[in-house]
Amino acid sequence: MISVVIADDHDIYRHGLSMLLHDDERFTLVGEAKDGDEALALIHLHKPDVVVLDLSKAGMSGIEITAQLNAEKVTTSSIILTMTDDANSARRSMDAGAKGVVHKESAYAELANAIEFVSSGRIYSGMFQKAGDTYAHHSLDLLSKRELDILKCVSQGMTSKQVGDKLCISPRTVDTHRMRIMQKLDIHNGSGLTKFALESGLVSALSG
């Protein structure tokens, strides 16, 4: 099951969401927080797969908490809940390191879908698809031509030796490039790198 922490300073909303998550066999709710300090403490304690954060909560905002987690290299994936339809808020959330943005008035099914998405290393932007596309293209811009070539090969399931043979470089050089790609994209393992390449739409961008 996917472990989840939620943080929202509106008690009724937080408790309602807690009940829905508790009754959903896909998830394990490991903590609720009403402010930023509580949220960070719960994340550090339980190391959940996903944390759901209110964008405009009292104290530290969801974006501020996400940025701090990202700076600390915490592997928990953040989903930001927002009451606005402003794509700029979604873009700022993703720039801070959030893996998902969901409108607060969305049905529970959409949030559940988003939690499953981000827990598997994917980006969920939902109604903010344009912001998600901007995030993907921005990430792509971080990579060099050689890194793009290697990412394309990785997305096709090629080993380091196969990539090296195709690009006429050593497997060790391939591994070095893979490590740099992962650092630039803030991805922590090979499977996450493959999923990012396949599921964020970068494969079609690379092959074009």
| Residue 137 forms part of a structural domain | no
pLDDT of res. 188: 67
**49/92 same-domain check:** yes
**191/93 same-domain check:** no
The CATH number assigned to the domain holding 196 equals: 1.10.10.10
In this predicted structure, the answer to whether residue 205 has a pLDDT above a threshold of 90 is no
| Residue 194 forms part of a structural domain | yes
**200/106 same-domain check:** no
Phi-psi region of 168 (alpha: psi -120 to 50; beta: other; left: phi over 0): left
Q: Which residue has the higher pLDDT, 182 or 49?
A: 49
**58/113 same-domain check:** yes
Count of structural domains, the chain: 2
| Residue 151 forms part of a structural domain | yes
| Residue 136 forms part of a structural domain | no
**Structural contact between residues 81 and 54, judged by C-beta atoms closer than 8 angstroms:** yes
Query: What is the domain extent for residue 118?
Result: 2-129
In this predicted structure, the answer to whether residue 51 has a pLDDT above a threshold of 90 is yes
Domain boundary among 129, 153, 178: 129
**85/27 same-domain check:** yes
Each residue of 63-106: pLDDT tens digit? 899 999 988 999 999 999 988 766 667 777 888 888 888 888 88
What global pTM score does this model have? 0.62
Each residue of 53-63: pLDDT tens digit? 988 765 678 88
| Residue 61 forms part of a structural domain | yes
- State both tokens at 146: 């050689």
Give the helix ranges, DSSP H, for the chain.
11-22, 36-46, 62-71, 87-95, 108-119, 129-141, 145-155, 160-167, 171-185, 190-199, 202-207
The CATH number assigned to the domain holding 36 equals: 3.40.50.2300
| Residue 60 forms part of a structural domain | yes
**61/157 same-domain check:** no
pLDDT of res. 196: 66
**70/150 same-domain check:** no
**156/121 same-domain check:** no
